[in-house]
Amino acid sequence: MEQFVLDDILSHLEKPARYLGSEWNTVHKDWDGASVRMAFAFPDLYEVGMSHLGLQILYGLVNTYPDYLMERVFAPAPDLEAELRRRGLPLFSLESHRPLRDFDILGFTLQYELTFTNILNMIDLAGISLLASERSAFDPLVIAGGPVAANPEPLAPFIDAFVIGEGEEALPEILAAIRQIKLDNTRWERGDILKKLAGIPGVYIPSCYSVEYNREGRVQGFTGLCPDTPSQVRRRLVPDLDTVYYPTAPVVPLVEAVHERGMLELFRGCTRGCRFCQAGMIYRPVRERHTGNLHRQAGEIIDNTGYEELSLVSLSSLDYSDLDGLLQPLRDRCARSRTGISLPSLRVDSFSVDVARQLPGGRRTSLTLAPEAGTQRLRDVINKGVTEADLLDAVAAATAAGWSAIKLYFMVGLPTEEQADLEGIGDLVRKVRQTGRSAARGKHKLRISVSASSFVPKAHTPFQWEGQLPRPLLAERHAFLRDLVRNSGADYHWHDIGTSFLEAVLARGDRRLAGVLVEAWRRGCRFDGWTEHFHFDRWQESFRAVDLDPEFYAARKLAYEEVLPWNLIDAGIDREFLIREHRRALAGVATPDCRRASCEGCGVCPALEVEPQLVKKAPSNLSGKLT
């Protein structure tokens, strides 16, 4: 794009710095010297995408290769989209401001189902056909990956290839295949390229499969259409995180991002086994980075970014097995540069609070704890592994240490939920207030707020067979809980029921939902995860336009023998394990963490040829203080 045209466009925008591409640590490579050029597309605003660790990892990784090039593009805000459409200009990348059609690959990250219309909008703004079947050999390959690819089917007609699982090893293999195709200097048809990519482990090509449905509209089966098409595509997983690239000079955003801090990933995976948690299932097993590497990476991140805070990111960071060996030297290093250390998520126990209290630069303002349910019965159903005593001990420790605000996170509509479970939340809030006031001893006021979301069943979890409660019933329960919580002296906030409903529809959907996505996009749906942009009426119109009932996807309970839309994806978890966990949930029986007890047979370790007893154990004593 000509610079004077770009300057004129940017002068009309509210936040032009989103699109400059001149941030600290940005990589600008020679376009003509690159054999393969890829645009990493984050289907949300710059401020959200620049807080995403996966973007930083893949951006830095690809650009370490001398002849590969990766640039970034984010969902344009409404003001930029309006300018591009008014002028008839295509969506462009940040680093070189080239049209996305000039790239070999356009790769989307799938972090949230309610970004799907943004994906369609970005493809259209790029001047690329929405449907993969209508693209020519001259169009960029449109690929996608990330946690939402655990059920890729609603997006299948729009995406040429999905990367299932982790991308550090899979993406360079895809780039190498494209590079070889270009070096062959022969005329490849698009279908031939996709068949070549289908031979890469973890790559799912939707056009290589057809889907059959029965009279009730349920998936009946899948038929492979390409040679050697596997019955399932197994996820990719990095067995040793110490052997792969990690960004220690990440791009520092120009515009204030959702999270402005350096990110240090301690490990991946979680074996606590919360039955609603998709990430806890699809990222198994736990794989830790060596303490020495973490110390080195932390120092480099601080030196290369100037961030005032370093965040220890993992699904449950305090489960790191050598926590004392990690934190003591890290505190010393951060003290020299006056860098704070934060934990984005804490377990509900006093040990977590005590660790957080000892971290340098920690702000003693608001602390978030997630008991998820109001009674022990329901916490056992969801396998949360948290007791009321754990929560109250954590509150006492936090308020005594100076925290003045406690935020409690719950879910409404969990499987087997009864009114007593909702009433239990009100009781728990009162006990938290009493405990906090007692521990604070009048030194400061304590503010308590409750945030509640609606349960959304997710693929590859024990609750994938459960349906979401009907919207009117969810509304009644949120209203009932709101009154209880406010009578208990706390503020109550809840996620929009319509967005949770749509998330459930898309999370458990099949390929027929592609028509709904197109209709919603044509009706102006964008940024559906943002309250100010969400238009539920337009979505309802879109379902009617293609004659699909959204309740069929969101509310219906599924039978064990039913063919699921995501059955083509092997997420590494044994199906029989998920069934056992679902049955144990209905019986109210908890399952212990396999890093502290015996193997529960989830199937991950045998598939990776790892002996379960060799998986690194979490620290057994979590009650003492770090010194």
- Residue 360 in contact with residue 564, Cβ under 8 Å? no
Q: What pLDDT digit, counting tens, does each position of 467-515 carry?
A: 999 999 999 999 999 999 999 889 999 999 999 999 999 999 999 999 9
Instruction: Name the token pair of 431.
Output: 């006990």
52: confidence class by pLDDT, cuts 50, 70, 90 = very high
**Top-ranked range on mean pLDDT: pick from 177-191, 231-245, 596-610:** 231-245
Based on the structure, what is the number of domains in the chain? 2
228 and 367 belong to one structural domain: no
Q: What would the mean pLDDT of 20-37 be, rounded to a whole number?
A: 96
Other CB atoms within 10 Å distance of the CB of residue 376: 18
Residue 620 lies in a domain: no
Quote the CA–CA distance of 261 and 344 in Å, as a whole number. Answer: 11
Q: What would the mean pLDDT of 10-23 be, rounded to a whole number?
A: 93
Range of the domain at 160: 3-234
Domain end residue (candidates: 211, 234, 257):
234
Q: What pLDDT digit, counting tens, does each position of 396-435 carry?
A: 998 988 888 999 999 999 999 999 999 999 999 999 999 9
609: confidence class by pLDDT, cuts 50, 70, 90 = low
Mean pLDDT of the chain: 92
Q: What is the pLDDT of residue 615?
A: 45
Higher-confidence residue of 487 and 361: namely 487
Q: What would the mean pLDDT of 94-108 be, rounded to a whole number?
A: 97
227: confidence class by pLDDT, cuts 50, 70, 90 = confident
Q: What pLDDT digit, counting tens, does each position of 267-326 carry?
A: 999 999 999 999 999 999 999 999 999 999 999 999 999 899 999 999 989 899 999 999
Residue 597 lies in a domain: no
Q: What is the pLDDT of residue 620?
A: 41
Domain end residue (candidates: 201, 234, 267):
234
Q: What is the pLDDT of residue 188?
A: 75
Compute the radius of gyration of the chain from its Cα atoms.
24
The dihedrals phi and psi of 212, each to the nearest 5 degrees, come to: -110, 145
Instruction: Name the token pair of 153.
Output: 């089917």
Q: What is the pLDDT of residue 612?
A: 53
Q: What would the mean pLDDT of 562-587 be, rounded to a whole number?
A: 97
Quote the CA–CA distance of 181 and 186 in Å, as a whole number. Answer: 8
Q: Which of 463, 487, 352, 346 is nearest to 411 (CA)?
A: 463
Q: Is the predicted pLDDT of residue 70 greater than 90, yes or no?
A: yes
Residue 176 lies in a domain: yes
Instruction: Name the token pair of 591.
Output: 């399952």
The interaxial angle of helices 78-87 and 116-125, nearest 10 deg, is 30
Residue 107 lies in a domain: yes
Higher-confidence residue of 444 and 591: namely 591
3-state helix, strand, coil in the chain (%, to 5): 40, 15, 45
Higher-confidence residue of 442 and 370: namely 370
Percent of the chain's residues with pLDDT above 90: 79
Domain end residue (candidates: 234, 259, 288):
234
- Interstrand relation of 105-109 and 68-74 (parallel, antiparallel or unpaired): unpaired
Residue 578 lies in a domain: no
Q: What would the mean pLDDT of 448-457 be, rounded to a whole number?
A: 96
Q: Is the predicted pLDDT of residue 343 greater than 50, yes or no?
A: yes
The dihedrals phi and psi of 521, each to the nearest 5 degrees, come to: -60, -45
Q: What is the pLDDT of residue 364?
A: 61
Q: What would the mean pLDDT of 207-211 be, rounded to a whole number?
A: 96
DSSP of 3-48: HHHHHHHHTT-S-GGGG----BT-----STT-SEEEEEEESS-HHH
Residue 320 lies in a domain: no
Helix spans in 236-387 (H) = 279-282, 291-305, 323-336, 350-358, 376-381
Quote the CA–CA distance of 272 and 97 in Å, as a whole number. Answer: 44
- Which CATH number does the domain housing residue 552 bear? 3.30.750.200
- Residue 346 in contact with residue 237, Cβ under 8 Å? no
The dihedrals phi and psi of 143, each to the nearest 5 degrees, come to: -120, 165
Which strand (E) or helix (H) includes residue 144?
Answer: strand 141-145
* 3-class SS of residue 380: helix
Longest dimension (CA), the chain: 78
Q: Which of 425, 540, 376 is nearest to 471 (CA)?
A: 540
* 3-class SS of residue 347: coil
Quote the CA–CA distance of 501 and 523 in Å, as a whole number. Answer: 19
| Bond into 285 cis (ω within 30) | yes
625: confidence class by pLDDT, cuts 50, 70, 90 = very low
Listed range (181-185, 295-299, 344-348) with the worst mean pLDDT: 344-348
Q: What is the pLDDT of residue 613?
A: 42
Percent of the chain's residues with pLDDT above 70: 96
**27-250-170 Cα angle (round to 5):** 80
- Which CATH number does the domain housing residue 101 bear? 3.40.50.280
Listed range (56-60, 135-139, 346-350) with the worst mean pLDDT: 346-350
Residues 6+ apart with CB under 8 A from 497: 454, 471, 474, 475, 478
Q: Residue holding tokens 């770090």?
A: 626
Separation of first and last alpha carbons in the chain: 57
Q: What is the pLDDT of residue 558?
A: 97
Instruction: Name the token pair of 453.
Output: 């979301």
Q: Is the predicted pLDDT of residue 30 greater than 70, yes or no?
A: yes
259: confidence class by pLDDT, cuts 50, 70, 90 = confident
Q: What is the pLDDT of residue 626?
A: 35
Residue 132 lies in a domain: yes
Residue 425 lies in a domain: yes
Q: What would the mean pLDDT of 368-384 be, rounded to a whole number?
A: 96
